[in-house]
A and B are shown apart, each in its own frame.
Chain A
Amino acid sequence: MENFSNFLYMREELSLVVLIVFLLLYDLIAGKRGMRYFQPAAIGLMALHTLINIIPRAEVSAFGGMYTYLPMAGVVKSILNLATLTVFLQAKELFSSSKQRQRRGEYYFLTLVTLLGMYFMVSSGHFLLFFIGIEMASIPLSTLVAMDKKCKKSAEAGAKYILLAAFSSGILLFGISYLYGTTGTLYFADMPPLISANALQIMGFVFFAAGLFFKLSFVPFHLWAGDVYEGAPTNVTSYLSVVSKGAAAFALVVLLFKVFGNLVVQWQGILYAIIILTITVGNLFAIRQENMKRFLAFSSISQAGYIALGMMGGTALGMNMLVYYLFVYLFSNLAAFGVVISIENKTGKLNISDYNGLYSTNPKLSVVMMLAMFSLGGIPPFAGFFSKFFIFSAAVEQGFYVLVLIAALNTVISLYYYLKVVKAMFINHSDNPIPTLRTDGYNRVSLILCTIGILVTGVVSLFVESISHFGFGVQ
């Protein structure tokens, strides 16, 4: 009986599994008429799932330490839920055509399975559970990436993603095997005292981290990102760039702080170089992009570099600000994707130059896009400014002046390309602008949600303060 009560500690996972099973059965059983309510049901239940799990619980460890619930992981799960919900809201149009409609069930099912995998990534207490989580999050994702069956780019992206994901999992496992070999345990809780920074362990750590860096698309492990982001259906791209990245970032920070605390000098050195590379290379490539999806892909690579700034210090402040950054990034990035999706679905146009003169025909969409760009670029009074300022503070607190200076100078580069989009919409004229279009109701809800998020989550201190209760430093 005791073991069963342990399941109750995994409340989020359980409710998600219920949701997944329900949707799977619904898809199987419901006839044509029933399927009409499939999307509302999926979205409604996802909203319910988000709501009932929104309040983090106390720290708890179940199954002999295999599963660990951290309050901060609870916060991150809520952020992931919210992001997934927003992605779902934006997905309505994706399945409006008759060809795509039959794949609706699979889309929601697979997306939620990856979400479950991410849940395990952020609350595992054991390397194997962690590995299962990461696999559960990657393999269905490659199916999702290849969802657009008729589109060659999508299929290519799917193949690319699964091959590289498998390769990086191999590297990750190889790293884990070294760690197991030198410490004799795979439990997060038992490992730290046994890690003494000997060469084998450092090597194990480097391989392990490289596997995770792949998920986070840190430079130089980013080469898959451009093609996969471009080829995947836009909804999947937005899911990849926010949810998948967020979960991996938080899993990494927990591991660095909880398990690899003794290697702090080593991983700080590695991250130092990686952050500079990620931010700079991501930015420089983003400048050259003409395709909106590729553009957002590279912008999100450089954003991952900023997210990693929160890990550098190894402090509770850093972790808090990292999670806060993810929270704000969710709204900013998904607002941008929402607009891209809306325009793509109606007109099929994806280039930045297609956006010329958008303000004259679609003022509301342009304003949302502009807010998203400003927030991503870190312009006050929008939320992105606050999250960027705070994550910089977390790094400066530990004395990383040069690093922060480089990151801050990079915001200028990033501003250049974010402003390029704003310029296209507001300043450039076009003889043939995108016609005035109606965004569907669900997507409109998601855009309103994101706009409110961009405007409110920065200025109102409640959000960052409530997140700040749960962080912890290197242990």
Chain B
Amino acid sequence: MNFLIVFILIPLLMLFALFATRNRKQVLAVMVTGSSALVLASIYLTVRYILLRNSGVAETMLFTSSYTWFEPLNIGFSLGVDAVSVTMLALSAIIVFTGTFVSWKIKPLTKEFFIWFCLLSLGVFGFFITTDLFTLFMFYEIALIPMYLLIGIWGSGRREYSAMKLTLMLMGAASLLIVGILGIYFSTGAVSMNLLDLKEIDIPLNLQLLFFTLTFVGFGVLGALFPFHTWSPDGHAAAPTAVSMLHAGVLMKLGGYGCFRVSIGLMPEATEILAPVFIVLTAIGVIYGALSAIHQTDLKYINAYSSVSHCNLVLFAILMLTRTAMTGAVLQMISHGLMTALFFALIGMIYERTHTRMITEMGGLMKVIPFLGVSFVIAGLASLGLPGLSGFAAEMTIFVGAFENADLFRRVLTIVAVSSIVVTAVYILRMVGKFLFGPMQNRKHLASIDAVWYEKLAVVILIAGIAYIGMFPLGLSNLISDSLAVIIK
């Protein structure tokens, strides 16, 4: 049996176990066991993957296997991973694990919350292990629908509006995708929907242009591609903490990953032609997201707009079509995943203590809750790209890689995108300065207690990840870069 199936089996078992649980304690026990198992599985997979690569195995994908599912349509259930998916799986496992601890006290309907949370993670894991267009699309949609209920029931603020907006926009994107996917399969006379088989087929250029646009926009919406990003700030701001973490941390990466795997991986010629259009859009998105973040006073909105900026940078880097930039894109996906999850976790924790997310209503919290305050500063510094933390490693790689392109157009836009770092520094430092170090705004906040054990655990794991990538990026980037060799020379 293929080891990758474990990543679907564990969430499935968790789902069944959750149905059987009777009280909160059992629910948490299932979640902790299950998510630890996922972390262990992803560690094992990473180690196995590295060992196999070191022993000289050179196939594009490892752990491949293919089962026939729907014979009349040649739909298979194909599995396979390369370095990009392995790192994404590890990221997802970490976020699911920490997300469980962050939602330790979720109320009401604890059981239902985790059932949907599990279904969401099932979609995410399934998406990263599969190499078949049909299952890719299926898991993408599985990951979307729980969001509606998670935000709608457990969210805050304008939750009903945000939940509906998010679901409908992402489903709209999915309807572009379905046409693109079916088009790729049927117009080329392919024998299966397996990505590895489809890669061997030359799709005629005029069709490539059509399908590239459909799939890139389709996946791009989830990756917050400007101007289709509007679901993201509202959705993230309204979602409960763990869901924001999983959504901004992992689900948005589904978009980048899909663009890279399907649009660019299958249709290289169309990419060359259409890239400039999307480069312009993503560059606007990078700057626009950062500038919008300056205007916000709600911590969650600041981070949500910052996510828009960072996720557009991922798409920007992918479109640069150099190996360095793409490696940077993957690094940025992981880095942003950890960082934004940390941000949302901390914001959730701070909100529980202060009952407000407005930076104008908070101040001087560093003294009251030093652990959370310091962690917040670390997350902020990672976000603005301080060397030694993950943001720097990722963004540096992206910009160096983007500048490798010799043409003026790309270089100018790279400079434009780089300038977002300055803007990022502005809003991060302003935010940190105001609500952590500024004058005390509300005496009631003095009574807040600092993080408790389960919160500390989640925060420490995420910070450790950020610091590891920041300080030792070489191993990871080599691993990713090798895997990208088949896509980009």
Contact A408 B178 (CB under 8 A): yes
Q: How far apart are A405's CB and chain B's nearest CB, in angstroms?
A: 5
Cα(A465)–Cα(B73), bound, Å: 9
Task: Write the nearest CB–CB distance from A410 to chain B, whole angstroms.
Answer: 8
B175 and A380 contacting across the interface, CB-CB below 8 Å: no
Total chain A interface residues with beta-carbon distance under 8 A = 33
- Would A411 and B70 count as touching, CB distance under 8 A? no
- The yes or no answer to B182 lying at the interface (CB within 8 A) is yes
Q: Which residue of B lies closest to A459 (CB)?
A: B69
Q: Which stretch, A27-35, A177-185, A278-286, A386-394, touches the partner chain B?
A: A386-394
Complex contact A427–B160 (CB within 8 A): yes
CB-nearest residue of chain B to A317? B72
Q: What secondary structure prevails in chain A residues at the interface with B? A: helix
The smallest beta-carbon distance between A160 and chain B, in angstroms, is 35
Contact of B179 among A320, A396, A416, A468 (CB under 8 A): A396
Closest A residue, CB atoms, query B175: A408
Distance between A145 CB and nearest chain B CB, rounded to angstroms: 35
Asked if residues A380 and B138 are in contact (CB atoms below 8 Å), the reply is: yes
Q: A461 and B153: CB pair below 8 A?
A: no
- The interface residues of chain B lying within 8 Å CB-to-CB of A379 are 141, 145
Interface of B is mostly: helix
- Given A426-B153, A427-B152, A465-B71, A405 and B142 touching (CB < 8 A)? no
For the complex, give the distance between the alpha carbons of A464 and B159 in Å.
39
Question: Which residues of chain A come closer than 8 Å to B182, judged between CB atoms?
Answer: 392-393, 396-397, 404
B435 to chain A, nearest CB (A): 31
Q: Report yes or no: B179 in contact with A404, Cβ–Cβ below 8 A.
A: yes
The one of B137, B145, B172, B179 that contacts A401, using a Cβ cutoff of 8 Å: B179
A173 in contact (CB, < 8 A): no
Taking the closest CB of chain A, its distance from the CB of B141, in whole angstroms, is 5
Check if B72 sits within 8 Å of A389, measured CB to CB.
no
* Complex interface bits, B279-322 against A, C-beta within 8 A gives 1, otherwise 0: 00000000000000000000000000000000000000000000
Contact call A415/B171, Cβ cutoff below 8 A: yes
| CB of A381 closer than 8 Å to a CB of B | yes
Q: How many Å lie between the Cα of A104 and that of B176 in the bound state? A: 49
Assess the B138–A415 pair: CB atoms within 8 A: no
**CA–CA, A423 to B152, complex, Å?**
8
Please indicate the chain A residues that have their CB under 8 angstroms from the CB of B149 in the complex: 422, 426-427
Which residues of chain A come closer than 8 Å to B185, judged between CB atoms? Answer: 393
Are B134 and A461 within 8 A (Cβ)?
A: no
Q: Does A24 contact B (CB under 8 A)?
A: no
- List chain B residues, Cβ under 8 A from A412: 168, 171-172, 175
Contact A419 B71 (CB under 8 A): no
Given contact pairs A393-B73, A426-B153, A405 touches B167 in the complex (Cβ within 8 A):
no
A393 touches B186 (CB 8 A): yes
A409 touches B175 (CB 8 A): yes
Instruction: State A374–B119 Cα separation when bound (angstroms).
Output: 14
Assess A392 versus B168: contact at CB under 8 Å? Given A385-B141, A427-B153, A427-B160. no
Q: A381 contacts B142, CB within 8 Å?
A: yes
Complex interface: chain B residues within 8 A of A465 (CB): 70-72
| A-B contact list, 11 entries, CB within 8 Å | A374-B145, A380-B142, A389-B134, A405-B175, A405-B179, A416-B164, A422-B149, A426-B152, A426-B153, A427-B149, A468-B71
Instruction: Name A's B-contacting residues (CB within 8 A).
Output: 317, 320, 374, 379-381, 385-386, 389-390, 392-393, 396-397, 399, 401, 404-405, 408-409, 411-412, 415-416, 419, 422-423, 426-427, 461, 464-465, 468
List 4 other contacts, CB 8 Å, given A396-B182, A408-B175, A464-B72: A380-B142, A390-B73, A399-B187, A401-B183
